Amino acid sequence: MALTEWVRNRGSPVPSRCPLTVWHVRHRRYPLADSTGPERPDSLACPPPGDGVWDPVDPRQVRLLAAQSANFGFLAAHPLLLWYGAGAEWLVYANPWASLLRSRSFGEVLADELVRRTTVVPQGGSLHHLLRALGADGVLTPRVFAAFARLRDIGGTRYDPDEEPLVALDALRNCFTLGVWFHRALTGDRAPLGFVPPTPPPELLCDPPASPRKPPVHRVVPRPAVRGTGRGAGERLRAELRRYRTELAATRLRLTGSGSAVAAQRRAAAEADRMIAAADAARATVGTLLASLEPEVWAARRDVGRQASARISAGRREEFVARLRRTVPEPGNEPQARVELERRLAAAGWVVRNPHRRHPPDGLGVAVRNVPLCTGHADYLLYVDGSLVGVVEAGWAEVEPSGGEDDGVGTRPSGVASEVALAARLDRYRHRLTVEQRRTAWRRDHPLPFGYVSTGGETVFVNWLAPFPRPRDVTAFHRPATLARWMREADENPTAPTLRARLRQLPPPRARDLRAAQVEALRGLDRSLADDRPRALIQLAAGAGKTRTVIVASHRLLEHAGAHRVLVLVDRDNLARRLVQEFVDYRIPDDGTAPFAGRHPVERLSGATMLGSARVIVTTVPRLHAALNGAPLPDADDDPAHDSHPRDSPVEVPYHPHLPPETFDVIIVDDCHRATYGAWRGVLEYFDAFTVGLTTAPVQQTLGFHHENLVAEYPDEQAIADGVTVDFDLYRIRATATPTGLRVEAGPVVPRWERRTRAERYQEVERDLGYLGAPAGRPVVSGGELRLVLETFRDRLGTEIFPGRREVPKTLVLARDAVHADEVAALLRQIFARDDTFAVALTYGSRHAGYDPDELFEAFRSQPVPRIVVTDDLLATGVDIPALECLVILRPVRTAGCLARMKGRVARAIAPAEFRLVAGDALAKERFVVVDAVGITEGAVDEVVPLHRCPERELSLRTLLGRAARLDATPDEIATLAARLCRLRQRLTGAELAELAELGGQPLAQIVRGLVDAVAPEQLNAARAVGLDAVRGLMATAVRPLAAVPVLRDRILELHDNPGR
């Protein structure tokens, strides 16, 4: 159906040949439940124009359409967006319903483009799913997300047919706003772009006579929020058009070199009228071009879903996401930029004055506007306590496009000038100061140490006192009191006047009371901070001591670098309380009797104490966000409302005068994951602070957010080899329904697939384990199935899961929610025929039920009873219970990272003497067992592959050592041998370990480390790529320390065969 015929067909607004939204879903490249099309690759980057995506569209026709389109010509490099936007504009009055469909399709194409460029993995192909994925991954700011949501919500609301043009005009303006935002993010162009309102036919501007109106028609379009309710549709349309014309004239306003302001406003209004008239004159040409391009657009739309693009790195992805978030969607002009700039100055506590009124009566900070210099003028000069300290440049007019072609990913340099050019722009002001201005300067050698360039929406700051002054983005101006504190610090310490200078002088970390991995993490962090890198990532295996690393790093920053305040973010509210206690209990190494809190007060962020004198604040991201929004903060513990749960939409972060961006110098995110740097990332970006993340299993989003600055790695295998954690076994229980009833299958499982290297895993976008994003696994909730699974667990516990054990090992059961946890705990007590202390539920509802969660947790951690604790999310992550030996999973798990964090609750090693106090009949904790009752380990997930891959009944330790002696062990046998030696080491005494070290010429841990390194994917996959001989050589080298010393092998077997010596 031709476009003109579609417009004439008012009775059937949706063309039968290709309904836009339905076509888009059916031809999307993502694997849908009913789709048989090609699956989306793991990672896609949008190819550049001309690379095959837009080939079906005639570029000459596209250029003509761009030249004639009043509002979307700047999207010439994106033909689909141009066609849908120009089509919505052309149809806005002729067929408002068709215009709305074009507007929605514009949003779908743009969201799809963002998904391809950012490698986000949506759960489905609709605009709803695309926005959920983009919002959850932190790609969109709240303003942009709201603009997309207005296009998404076109549907399902009754409205008056007379208001169709208003609805369509509002949607068209929304498309223009999103198009400008996308164009600016890609090109860096900050030139003001104004919306040119289409002129309606005269009959639409006249209100119909007062007569009985026909009933509202049900259309899939929402009623817009139009101004002036109660007036006629024609009058409201006229009011909207007047408003758009005023906004258009404002974007054309130029004050610089324009003479009087009145004359400039007249010229801007005249230019706006000419633009509207030109758009009306081009209307017929636009319609012809749209109709001629229609078949080619459908072909291009079809081909987009078939394009496969190259992967992009984590750094390039993050660079593009940062530019999307930094870009302001609304067009502006010089007066608007200055109004917004002065509003932000006033919000930060600055008093803005004209030159003749520089000093207000009680103003600590004064911003003087339009100050004459020796040559030219300064937009704003900043005074603190009467001393000249800085300059602000209203940089809206001088922010130039970066030039060059889009590389298809959107990682071209930012529109804000390069660091060198920007620093030079600010530095020129100090050479133009008058003698009087130099006399009032705080520092004569550098009279303007603090410089800002701001467009009103984007602000860049330079501190010339830093060792290497570098411009950095800030969300607001620093408060005068902050600059005054920085001035005092510089006067007190001239050799290291700034925090960045002091970070370069940190002493090396002391190895006492720290593991080697923790020392290496602190050294890597020191190097990163000294290099002035704003973000750093530390990867430590679960149970390797992240909490101690956080505490020691905080102490070093406060004690040796003079940091003003450190923020520590945790996952859950109950973890914040426990971490505060860890800080209080920590003794400073330089003085073993001095508590940490004695020198540096530590507080949780709560309603009773916001900041006060605290030097360390511990809280969750949602609680911090609530504080920034002025919401009351409850002091109660274990509040799930303030835990870091995933969100589908980004959060709004307003400026808070009592929590300004400079409140914290360093932010440490303990156990950072997608919920933290996704939809909540606006909270982190609000603060002008270094960000340090600690994680167990980083993925592409984690690595990208931290600018690919991975300062330390300590994977699980190395932690097992060093004895910091223990290896695990996997046991699967699966209940299935049959015609004769429920049937159960149970037994140990060893997943076998080629594992990826850490670098490969780090460059993969974190995605949900389940199909189409649904959580992996089947929740065990039905009474019969649940009972069967738990009875099987009881029956196999002493025979297959923990052979020979009479006492139930310490077990953590992960339930779906609090109700499910109570049901499971009650059923466990019934099945095992034990009292109420045997199995308890520890959930968010425990406190409301009359129990003290702290007492229950401490009893479970250090006392023989309870033996089993059933939890929901309260203990799923962030806590260490060394005596735990069994993890039973009765609920779906969303991501592999979440599964790794759950395993971390059970992985930590424990001294045999301490273990025997709570374990009952076990001598030492040699391993832990993951009991999978919902099928989450059935997929190819690296996190479920243990070192122990050959069951003991198939290969004994004697057999493994024999093959090692013959140098013919396979990689799986080498991994199993390393696991067996690790388990043996857990029960050996210090004297026995010393004996083995003397026999082997090196510690047993070093031998095991060589075995583990040999079977790590980093070495093994590379050897496999070379050939079988390379693999054999790698394995032979790893086992040679054992093969060369027969007496060492004999002694190992003797210690293994006599565990009760």
Round to whole Å and give the CA distance between 557 and 569: 16
Tell me the two tokens of residue 190: 């900050």
Strand 811-814 and strand 839-841: the pairing is unpaired
Peptide bond into 748 cis (omega under 30): no
Angle between helices 957-965 and 971-985 (to 10 degrees): 120
Round to whole Å and give the CA distance between 245 and 585: 65
Residue 1031's pLDDT is what? Answer: 93
Residue 22's pLDDT is what? Answer: 31
DSSP 8-state code for residue 798: I
Question: For residue 648, what are the CA distances in angstroms to 133, 548, 652, 674, 675?
Answer: 7, 33, 13, 12, 10
How many CB atoms lie under 10 A from the CB of residue 23? 17
Round to whole Å and give the CA distance between 510 and 532: 22
What is the radius of gyration, based on Cα positions, of the chain? 33
Cα 184 from chain centre: 23
Tell me the two tokens of residue 43: 């990672």
Question: For residue 880, what are the CA distances in angstroms to 544, 874, 904?
Answer: 10, 12, 7
Residue 312's pLDDT is what? Answer: 77
Q: Which residues contact 1029 (CB under 8 A, 6 or more apart)?
A: none
Round to whole Å and give the CA distance between 896 and 702: 13
Upper half-sphere CA count for residue 884 (Cβ side, 13 Å):
32
Class of domain 333-479: alpha beta
Task: Determine the 3-state secondary structure of 853 from DSSP.
Answer: helix
Tell me the two tokens of residue 290: 């749209």
Round to whole Å and give the CA distance between 1049 and 984: 13
Fold of 727-944: Rossmann fold (3.40.50)
* Domain 500-718 falls under CATH 3.60.15.10: no
Round to whole Å and give the CA distance between 931 and 730: 6
Round to whole Å and give the CA distance between 922 and 256: 82
Q: Kindly report the three-state secondary structure assignment for every residue of 816-829.
A: CCHHHHHHHHHHHH
CB 525 within 8 A of CB 538: yes
* Mean pLDDT, 10 residues at a time, the chain of 1061 residues: 38 34 33 31 33 58 92 92 94 90 92 89 85 90 92 72 86 94 88 88 68 47 40 80 88 66 84 91 92 84 57 83 83 75 94 74 81 90 94 66 43 48 80 91 90 88 91 94 95 94 94 90 96 94 89 95 95 86 86 80 76 88 90 66 71 92 95 76 94 88 89 92 92 83 84 67 58 46 82 94 93 90 93 94 77 84 92 76 92 76 86 89 91 79 78 89 93 94 92 94 94 91 91 94 94 85 53
DSSP 537-554: EEEE-TTS-HHHHHHHHH
Question: For residue 846, what are the CA distances in angstroms to 647, 819, 820, 870, 905?
Answer: 25, 11, 13, 11, 20
CATH 3.90.1570.30 segments of the chain? 333-479
The H or E element containing residue 998 is helix 990-1000
* Verdict on whether the full-model pTM lies above 0.75: yes
CB 317 within 8 A of CB 121: no
DSSP 547-582: HHHHHHHHHHHHHTS--S-EEEEESSHHHHHHHHHH
Using a 10 angstrom Cβ sphere, with 0-12 exposed, 13-18 middle and 19 or more buried, the burial of residue 810 is buried
Type of residue at 77 = A
CATH 3.40.50.300 segments of the chain? 500-718, 727-944
Round to whole Å and give the CA distance between 433 and 960: 80
Residue 423's pLDDT is what? Answer: 74
